[in-house]
Structure 1
Amino acid sequence: MRKFRISLLTLALAACAFGAQAAGPEIETLAGRARDLFDYGRWSDARQEFLRVRAVLTPSDRLLAQEADFYLAACAVELGSPDAEGALREFAERYPESVYANDVRFALGSFYCAAGNMEKAREAFAQTDYKALSAPRREQYDIRMGYVAFAGGDYRKAYDYFDRIGSRSEYADHARYYKAYIDYAEGRYGRAKQAFTALLRSDAYRDVVPYYLMQIEFREGNYRYVVENGETLARRAVPERRAELERVVAESWFRLEDFNRTLEHLAAFRKAGGEMDRDASYLEGFSLYRTARYAEAAEWLRKACGAEDALTQNASYHLADCYLRAGDKESAMQAFAMASDESLDATVAEDALFNYAKLQYELGGGAFNGAINVLTRYVERYPSSPRAEEARALLIAAYYNSRDYDAAYRAIKQMPSGDADIRAALQKITYFRALEAYKAGDMRAAQRYLTESAAVNVSPKYTALNAFWQGEIAFAQGDYPVAAAKYNAYLKRAPRTEREYALAWYNLGYCAFDRNDLGQAQASFRKFLAAWSPRDRYRADAYNRLGDAAYSDRRFEEAVGEYDKAIALATPEQQYARYKRAVTLGILGRTDQKQQALRQIAASGGDYADEASYELGRSYIAQEKYAEGAAQLEKFVAAYPSSPRCTQALSDLGLAYLNLGDKQKSLKYYDRVVGASPHSSEARGAMQSIREIYVSQGDADAYFDYAAKAGLESDLTALSRDSLSFAAAQKLYLDGQQEAAAKSLRSYVQSYPKGYYLTDALYYLSDCYLRSGERGEAIETLTALADRGTTQYTVAVLEKLSEMTYADERWDEAASAYRRLYDAAPTKTGREEAMKGYVRATVAGGDGAKIAAMAADVCGHDDAGAAALREAKYAWAGQLRAEGRRDEAVKLYRELAKDVRTKEGSEAAYYVIESTFGSGDMDKTEKEVFAFSEREPQAYWLAKAFILLGDVYVKKGDNFQARATWQSVADGYSPADDGIVDEAKARIAKLN
């Protein structure tokens, strides 16, 4: 702090103002000496003298006492005493009207300024009356307020304060320095250079000025000046300043293209403690690159990459060349991707984009069909480039090689369609896109793509195959005449060596079966067998159909031979062949062989075990072996209580025991028939037998009591009317008089709610409603029929009911129908399809509790089928995840992630990886992502995994690899409107 000069005139005026008595001569002499000591800056001595003055003052010496107290506080400030602030504030409180009050406020501001408390310094100076200060004090005020403003970043105000300091002031150099610095910081280099040059004569600033002068020369591009003077300055500088100087000298040598000297000074920069930021890393990397030290250069150039700016573009462009020289095409491709930003250097961007696209193609197209997207971008952006033709040729090749046909289709549709090569690629891609839609069950989309592919008609191969798959679609939709026409059109063009050639004959066999043309069916299946060599399910099925055709023509020995061929292939089709062979042996009179075969089928299980078990019982009864027949049928009823044949088996048991003379057992089984299906033709027959038994025992009243308890009609006249009414309605139905039949059947259902033909009537009525398009009435009738228990119609009714309620989004009804169908379906395939429908309907309903119950139910059945189990676990895991039970969800996701080719498996695998990431194990997360990518998952979830992989690299501090990973998603993934590309770009922007 500078000296406080107190004016004697001010003291004299103050004495007059207070009217106080003047102190004695000795005290005045002592006080004068104290003032002189203070003015000479001998603040410790001055303090001692003022303490002596204060000690001898009397109470009447108020003015001198006030002066002494002020100087004591001022000495405390100058001496840096801990109680300086307190002394000043105490003076202000004791003498609020003192002539020194303004000086005290100024002294407080000075104190706070020296202490570095700029906010309080600003407040104290703001309360100071600038005009009341003496001229020296004003200079002190200006220099200190200038510094306060400077420290606060207000350069404009600081400059104004410093500008008040005159050239003859003792603060002139300080003011000139700060003004020069502000000019330098704000880019007014000419004025700054002039001021700094003047300060070379200043004792205070001559050592620091050369540093700023060199910075100015550097910023003005005078690099030769910097290298000629910088080394000397750096040798003399302290370590912190030396690092900055070495950095500037290094970049100057870089600008002068002396890269060895650049590297030399960057090494000195690091040795002095300098940190290698992105810019310094680029200087190091590019200098190493220019001196052919490519491996070392790559390390530094990689560190310079990151944000979307010119530095990244230049660094990544040269980094790519380093990687190419090392044979690392994958990393080179990633580097070129970063350099391809057309908003920066256009020449670099074009070359980088071409090399990026070419390498993407050479490396297989990328995980997301990136080669197509990047090559398309190049052709569109640079159509006049000398390399456009090469890019276009690569693009066409990429289309042909693509396996992501949706992405390839979207890309090729953006290309001009007149070119023959492009049209040929479009024909192929739309063809394969149709096949993907077909496999997914989307027949409409498949047909649409095939139509588009056929319209191109460039490639004979794909034109022919197009006809085959149009036949497949028609066949799947049950339109066999159209299917046959398409297969025949294909066969006219197709080479016999193609897989589809044989399959066309196979499907033509089924088309002939549909129109009951058995001769043509046999011919088609034999042509299939001649063209098809694999001993697989297709071949076995063809033998079965040949056996069926021979069976229909009553060529039973030939039928047995065909079934034997199917059995020999040991595919699942052998179960049907074994059952049909057994039945055929019975027709041939080889009963013992038939029964032996049926026993083997029943014992081995499988889709036809129930059929074989029932047929075996019936065969014994046909031989009048009633005891054996009864025993077998009882086994059947116990093993297959839900079989559609169970009611008939109970009726057969009643007959068997009646023939065995056991009327009580006979009544027992007939009673079960009535209980199981009271309104069926089987129940009517059972009631007739029950009536005959009671009558034979001479107890007709017992029969009428039984009929009354069973709630069934026992009046013969009513039974006759029931039978006649149904017969009339049935005739209308069988004659195809749909409207009249529906009216008659409705009348029967309403008139005979306990009728014996109610089940048949409901079935026929539902069919009438279906044919007339009355969906609501059909569903209502099918539901009533399904609720009547197990009948011969149960499977067919539940199949139709589940299908219709699902299509109408009646989810709870559909789920119930599918679940009941699972219990009733006689075949493994039927049960799997039913359970799949049960899962999908429940999930579509969206009730979390029902989803959880469904999933537990499905997982408890081994024969639910892979699809149903997968979708049930997926839905269950999703429900657990939504409830925040993530650990439980991940357990299910781990099971699902075993097959990532499905949507559920891909998503599950992603959530498992996400869980690993959440645990903080970045190395394991990285390994899991790469393992995931090698298993051909669905593109969406693979892209999500790669975005997460970028997050892993950020956590590891590898911003280059993070940026490259996100760039690969942003450039290669499609479509661009499902959020993935936006998410990748957002990550890059955040990295910026």
Structure 2
Amino acid sequence: MLPSAGDYPVYQKGFILGLQKDYASKIREMDRLLADFPDSPYADDAMYEKGRACVLLNKNREAVETFETLISRYPNSSLARKAGIQSGLIYFNENQPIKAAEAYKKVIDNYPGSEEARVALEDLKSVYVDMNEVDAYTSYVRALGGKERMEASEEDSLTYLAAERLFMRGDNEAAGNSLTRYLQKFPQGAFSANANFRLGGIAFAKKEYEEAKQLFVRVLDSGDTKFGEESAARKAEIEYLEADYATALTTFRQLLLLAEDPANKEAARLGIMRCALLTNQMQEALSAADNLLKDAKLSPELAAEARYMRAKALIGAGKQTIAAADLKELAKDTRTAQGAEAKYLLAQLYYDTKDDAAAIHILEDYAKNGTPHPYWLARGFILWADIYIRQGDHVQARVYLNSLQSNYKAGDDIEAMIKNRLGKLKK
């Protein structure tokens, strides 16, 4: 009987146990074959299958040792090539990129032209990208010669991908350096807009706003649509923070055209409304406020701001009567700065239209319920004095003004208003 006559049943039994997911028993059978039949033609198969079973049991160290033994004893076996790839994959998954690269290079160098060498080269690419060493990978491929070569477009994409991975891991400093090197090497690269956008985000996070703004401008100028919307959003935000309202208004208009994200559409309309009002473009502010208030999902805070802006725009356009509806709605809650001002403005509106009774009714309610914003309540008391002055009741006007002068000590323009009126009452 030949020594190997009983080897195949042992190998077959172990293989079936693996199919049944009994990996520990599979390993025992493969070890039995290797011990009882060391010269078996199935020895390399047994080692490979044992290594695979070890991987499935998370016994990575034993798996690597098994694969390396296979490669050493049976270098000409097709399974040796596969074992090399398996070893590289184990090292890569264990975050040992240098050892992974060594394993893949052995397959490439020892089995040139094979399918496994091609797979190993592809996997090696991932290792070098993960290490952010694309230049080293490029040099290695070029040194191989023959059919192996790297197109400029592939080097472009790999260099960017390596930097992108650093960014996604949150390593902004390393990512920033890699993205800068990418743009230096490929200023018109396929991912130049992506790189500028990522660098803009890094600069924005560091509050380096001028640098961030320039980078976002490059993205917008490139015509790349993938990051155009977010670039416009960040650029507009920076310009608004810098109080460059005229420029911000233009950028918010651009954002409104680009925006697909509902949040960015809302931000664009809000920005247009604010900047238009601040640059005295009342009609545009009014239109933006109208568009915001059409959104049923608008938050109460933004709805209040939009009503406030619309009222201010209407007043600025000389349409105080139309503004009254928004002022009444805002004045229901004088806990907010907008509500406190609106309460005063509503009383002022009635005063301006010579409806003193309505103005006094508003002011009485204001005095009764109060507000945490004393400036506007003080303006209300001055307006109350103005009503008495117009009605000829100078005594009552002085009472209000003197009381306010004694109790209001904010150091703003209220004192000048009081003195101005008291001075006129003395004449």
What range describes the TM-score normalised by the shorter chain of this pair? 0.5 to 0.7
Identical residues among aligned pairs (%): 12
1:429 aligns with 162
Instruction: Tell me the residue number matched to 1:525.
Output: 252
- Which residue identity lines up with residue 321 of structure 1 in the other structure? E
> 2:220 aligned with 1:491, yes or no?
yes
Code of the aligned partner of 1:295:
L
The one of 321, 325, 328 aligned to 2:49: 321
Q: CA deviation at 1:610?
A: 0.8
Task: Give the match for residue 291 of structure 2.
Answer: 565
SS in 2 for 1:499: coil
Is it true that 1:345 corresponds to 2:69 in the alignment? yes
Task: After superposition, give the CA deviation of every residue in 1:895-936 in whole Å (9 maximum; x if it has no partner).
Answer: xxxxxxxxxxxxxxxxxxxxxxxxxxxxxxxxxxxxxxxxxx
Corresponding residue for residue 103 of structure 2:
378
Q: What's the TM-score once normalised by structure 1's chain length?
A: 0.32
Tell me which residue corresponds to 1:800: none
Contact 1:658-1:666 at 8 Å conserved across structures: yes
Report the Cα offset of residue 561 of structure 1.
Answer: 1.1
Give yes or no for contact 1:560–1:585 (8 Å, CA) kept in 2: yes
Distance 2:43 2:188 in 1: 46
Please point out which of 541, 546, 558 is paired with 2:267: 541
Preserved CA contact (<8 Å) 1:304 1:315: no
Summarize the alignment of residues 160-239 of structure 1 with structure 2, pairs less than 5 Å apart: none
Q: C-alpha offsets along residues 7-47 of structure 1, whole Å, 9 cap, x if unaligned?
A: xxxxxxxxxxxxxxxxxxxxxxxxxxxxxxxxxxxxxxxxx
Distance 1:463 1:553, change over 3 A: closer
**Compared CA separation, residues 689 and 341, structure 1 to 2 (3 A):** farther
In 2, the alpha carbon distance for the partners of 1:562 and 1:422 equals 47
Aligned residue in 2 for 1:649: 376
Q: CA deviation at 1:689?
A: 9.2
Amino acid at match of 2:199: Q
1:507-548: per-residue Cα shift (whole Å, max 9, x none)? Answer: 455566657473x555443333333334x1211222233334
Task: Name the CA distance, whole Å, in 2 between partners of 1:317 and 1:333.
Answer: 18
**Post-superposition CA distance 1:728-787 (Å, at most 9, x none):** xxxxxxxxxxxxxxxxxxxxxxxxxxxxxxxxxxxxxxxxxxxxxxxxxxxxxxxxxxxx
Task: Flag the 1:344–1:527 CA change in 2: closer, same or farther, 3 A.
Answer: closer
- The aligned residue for residue 882 of structure 1 is none
Distance 1:525 1:397 in 2: 41
Are the counterparts in 2 of residues 298 and 319 from structure 1 also a CA contact under 8 Å? no
1:116-515 counterparts in 2 under 5 A? 256-257=3-4, 259=6, 288-290=10-12, 294-295=16-17, 298-302=23-27, 318=46, 321=49, 332=56, 334=58, 338-341=62-65, 345=69, 347=71, 353-356=83-86, 375-379=100-104, 384-386=109-111, 387-397=116-126, 408-409=130-131, 412=133, 415-418=136-139, 420=150, 421=154, 424-434=157-167, 437=170, 447-457=176-186, 460-475=189-204, 482-495=211-224, 498-509=225-236, 514=242
- Alpha-carbon separation, structure 2, partners of 1:341 and 1:591: 86
In 1: Cα distance, 2:418 partner to 2:250 partner: 49
Number of the residue aligned with 2:313: 584
Deviation at 1:560, TM superposition (A): 1.0
Per the TM alignment, residue 340 of structure 1 is displaced from its structure 2 partner at its CA by 0.9
What is the CA–CA distance in structure 1 between the aligned matches of 2:64 and 2:288, rounded to whole Å?
Answer: 67
Give the aligned length: 372
Change (3 A) 1:319 1:543: same
1:377, CA displacement in angstroms?
4.3
Two-structure CA RMSD over aligned residues (Å)? 5.0
CA distance in structure 2 between the aligned counterparts of 1:258 and 1:532, rounded to whole angstroms: 74
- Call closer, same or farther: CA 1:614–1:409 in 2, change over 3 Å: farther
* DSSP-derived class of the 2:336 partner: helix
The match for 1:205 is none
Q: Residue in 2 aligned with 1:97? A: none
Whether the 8 Å contact between 1:375 and 1:392 is mirrored in structure 2 is no
Q: Which residue in 1 is equivalent to 2:77? A: none
1:491–1:501 contact (8 Å) kept in structure 2: yes
**Which secondary structure does the structure 2 equivalent of 1:461 belong to?**
coil
Following the alignment from structure 1 to structure 2, what is the Cα–Cα distance between the partners of residues 375 and 541?
48
Q: Which entry has the higher C-alpha Rg, 1 or 2?
A: 1
- For residues 330 and 138 of structure 2, the distance between their equivalents in structure 1, rounded to whole angstroms, comes to 60
Please name the residue that 1:614 is paired with.
340
User: Is contact 2:252-2:268 (8 Å) kept?
Assistant: yes
Structure 2 distance, partners of 1:671, 1:445, is 62
**CA distance 1:685–1:395, shift in 2 (3 Å):** same
Report what 1:673 is aligned to.
408
Distance 2:177 2:331 in 1: 47
1:834 matched to which residue of 2? none
Residues 458 and 669 of structure 1: is their aligned pair in 2 closer, same or farther, counting only changes over 3 Å? closer
Which residue is 1:981 aligned to? Answer: none
Per-residue deviation, residues 223-266 of structure 1 (Å, max 9, x unmatched) = xxxxxxxxxxxxxxxxxxxxxxxxxxxxxx9x955648xxxxxx
Sort the Cα spacing of 1:670 and 1:451 in 2 relative to 1 into closer, same or farther, 3 A.
Answer: same
Change (3 A) 1:557 1:416: closer
Give the Cα–Cα distance (whole angstroms) in 1 for the partners of residues 398 and 314 of structure 2: 34
Which amino acid is the alignment partner of residue 537 of structure 1? A
1:294 CA displacement: 2.3
Corresponding residue of 2:366: 632
Q: Deviations over 1:907-966 (max 9, x none)?
A: xxxxxxxxxxxxxxxxxxxxxxxxxxxxxxxxxxxxxxxxxxxxxxxxxxxxxxxxxxxx
SS in 1 for 2:292: helix
- Cα distance in 2 between the residues matched to 1:468 and 1:508: 11
Give the structure 2 partner of residue 275 of structure 1.
Answer: none
Q: Distance in 1 between matches of 2:255 and 2:11?
A: 67
Who is 1:770 aligned against? none
Secondary structure of 2:291's aligned partner: helix
Contact 1:579–1:612 at 8 Å: present in 2 too? yes
Instruction: Say if 1:383 and 1:322 are closer, same or farther in 2 by CA, change over 3 A.
Output: closer
Structure 2: distance between partners of 1:300 and 1:391 = 31
- Name the CA distance, whole Å, in 1 between partners of 2:323 and 2:195: 46
Structure 1 segments unaligned to the other structure (5+ residues) = 1-252, 261-285, 401-407, 697-992
1:558 partner amino acid: E
What's the CA shift for 1:631? 2.4
Relative to structure 1, the CA distance from residue 293 to residue 537 in structure 2 (aligned partners, 3 Å threshold; closer, same or farther) is closer
* Corresponding residue for residue 826 of structure 1: none
Give the Cα–Cα distance (whole angstroms) in 2 for the partners of residues 651 and 423 of structure 1. 66
Residues 426 and 635 of structure 1: is their aligned pair in 2 closer, same or farther, counting only changes over 3 Å? Answer: farther
Q: What does 1:57-72 align with in structure 2 at a 5 Å threshold?
A: none
**SS in structure 2 at match of 1:582:** helix
The verdict on how the C-alpha distance between 1:574 and 1:466 changes in structure 2, with shifts beyond 3 A counting, is farther
Letter paired with 1:586: I
- Aligned residue type for 2:257: A
The AA in structure 2 aligned to 1:559 is A
Per-residue CA deviation, residues 333-370 of structure 1 (Å, 9 max, x unaligned), is: 84676321289736269657535357779xxx86x768
Q: Secondary structure at the match of 2:191?
A: helix
Shift of 1:373: 6.9
1:648 positional shift = 1.5
Distance 1:610 1:626 in 2: 21
